[in-house]
């Protein structure tokens, strides 16, 4: 695995060429960035936890018929995924006011929204991922109307499922970000869920205490960041190995960033 070709390095993940055509290996780093990479740091063990949490969520979504890029987890930090052409739109789903919505519109953080909101941002770091309307997406050809219909339908289904899943473990799903890609089959393509879903890309609050158990702990210097990610994994039942293998508990210290191993 040491001489794999690197396809792309993002802020929190690296993509390598996969073992078969049409596949990639997605490697989860411990690196954390916020505010369009103006703030940088490391969260020990984050990559291991996000790999596991994202695997769990993507597999669960597949069981309700949401097509995803996930194929299988390879090891503590890597998963095998289908290669897609990423749609350059970040899809943000909000149930509760927080983050940039609160800032932009002056709505107090924690206000339950009367209905779920879906926002779209154009994926462009130089421009700071600006929010765009459907008209911009159509006008600049970032996605077709059919593709956007599929994306919006899937985003709502994913939100319904995840709200239920997290409320079952005492967590309020405040908001989250999704990315989608085009999976090609000859001349045809279809939209599938890509990237990751983890405490890096969701706001997750404890229902009783409102404690933040997500990347806002890093963004806002709240401390205990790795512990919060671990708490999510623990409540999802991922800190013990379901297969019953020995050494079940994730030993985070033993799996700190081993980039490019």
Q: Identify which of residues 48 and 178 has a Cβ nearer to ligand C5P in the complex.
A: 178
Rounded distance between C-alpha atoms, residue 111 and residue 195, angstroms: 28
Neighbours of 58 (CB within 10 A): 22
What is the full DSSP assignment across 128-162?
A: T--EE-HHHHHHTTSS-HHHHHHHHHHHHHHHHHH
Kindly state the smallest distance separating residue 250's Cβ from ligand C5P, in Å. 23
With CB atoms as reference, the residue minimizing the distance to ligand C5P is 99
Q: Identify which of residues 143 and 197 has a Cβ nearer to ligand C5P in the complex.
A: 197
For the chain, the 3-state helix, strand and coil shares in percent, each to the nearest 5, are: 30, 30, 40
Binding residues vs ligand C5P (CB under 6 A): 90, 92, 98-101, 129, 175-177, 201-203, 215
Residue 166 CB contacts under 8 Å (≥ 6 apart), including other chains: 172, 173, 204
Residue 67 CB contacts under 8 Å (≥ 6 apart), including other chains: 183, 190, 191, 192, 193
39-42 vs 112-122, strand pairing mode: unpaired
Kindly state the smallest distance separating residue 187's Cβ from ligand C5P, in Å. 32
Kindly state the smallest distance separating residue 35's Cβ from ligand C5P, in Å. 9
Rounded distance between C-alpha atoms, residue 100 and residue 215, angstroms: 14
Kindly state the smallest distance separating residue 253's Cβ from ligand C5P, in Å. 26
Q: Identify which of residues 52 and 203 has a Cβ nearer to ligand C5P in the complex.
A: 203
Kindly state the smallest distance separating residue 82's Cβ from ligand C5P, in Å. 21
Rounded distance between C-alpha atoms, residue 215 and residue 64, angstroms: 27
Show the tokens assigned to 70. 């996930």
Q: Identify which of residues 53 and 101 has a Cβ nearer to ligand C5P in the complex.
A: 101
Q: Identify which of residues 17 and 206 has a Cβ nearer to ligand C5P in the complex.
A: 206
Q: Identify which of residues 13 and 215 has a Cβ nearer to ligand C5P in the complex.
A: 215
Kindly state the smallest distance separating residue 198's Cβ from ligand C5P, in Å. 9
């Amino acid at each position: 695995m040491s001489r794999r070709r690197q396809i792309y390095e993002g802020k929190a993940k690296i993509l390598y060429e996969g073992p078969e055509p049409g596949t990639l290996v997605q490697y989860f780093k411990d690196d954390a960035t916020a505010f369009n990479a103006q703030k940088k740091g490391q969260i020990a063990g984050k990559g291991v936890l996000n790999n596991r949490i994202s695997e769990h969520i993507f597999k669960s979504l597949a069981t309700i018929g949401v097509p995803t890029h996930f194929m299988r987890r390879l090891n503590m930090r890597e998963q095998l995924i289908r290669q897609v052409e990423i749609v350059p739109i970040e899809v943000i789903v909000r149930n509760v006011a927080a983050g940039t919505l609160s800032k932009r519109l002056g709505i107090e953080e924690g206000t339950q929204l009367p209905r779920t909101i879906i926002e779209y941002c154009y994926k462009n770091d130089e421009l700071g991922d600006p929010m765009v309307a459907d008209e911009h997406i159509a006008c600049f050809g970032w996605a077709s109307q059919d593709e956007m219909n599929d994306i919006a339908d899937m985003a709502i289904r994913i939100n319904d499922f995840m709200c239920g899943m997290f409320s079952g473990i005492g967590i309020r799903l405040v908001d989250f970000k999704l990315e989608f890609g085009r999976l090609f089959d000859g001349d045809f393509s279809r939209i599938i869920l890509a990237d990751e879903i983890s405490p890096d890309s969701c706001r997750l609050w404890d229902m009783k205490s409102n404690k933040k158990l997500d990347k806002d702990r890093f963004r806002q210097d709240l401390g205990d960041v790795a512990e919060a990610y671990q708490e999510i994994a623990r409540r999802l039942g991922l800190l013990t190995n379901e297969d019953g293998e020995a050494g079940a508990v994730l030993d985070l210290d033993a799996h700190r960033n081993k980039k490019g191993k």
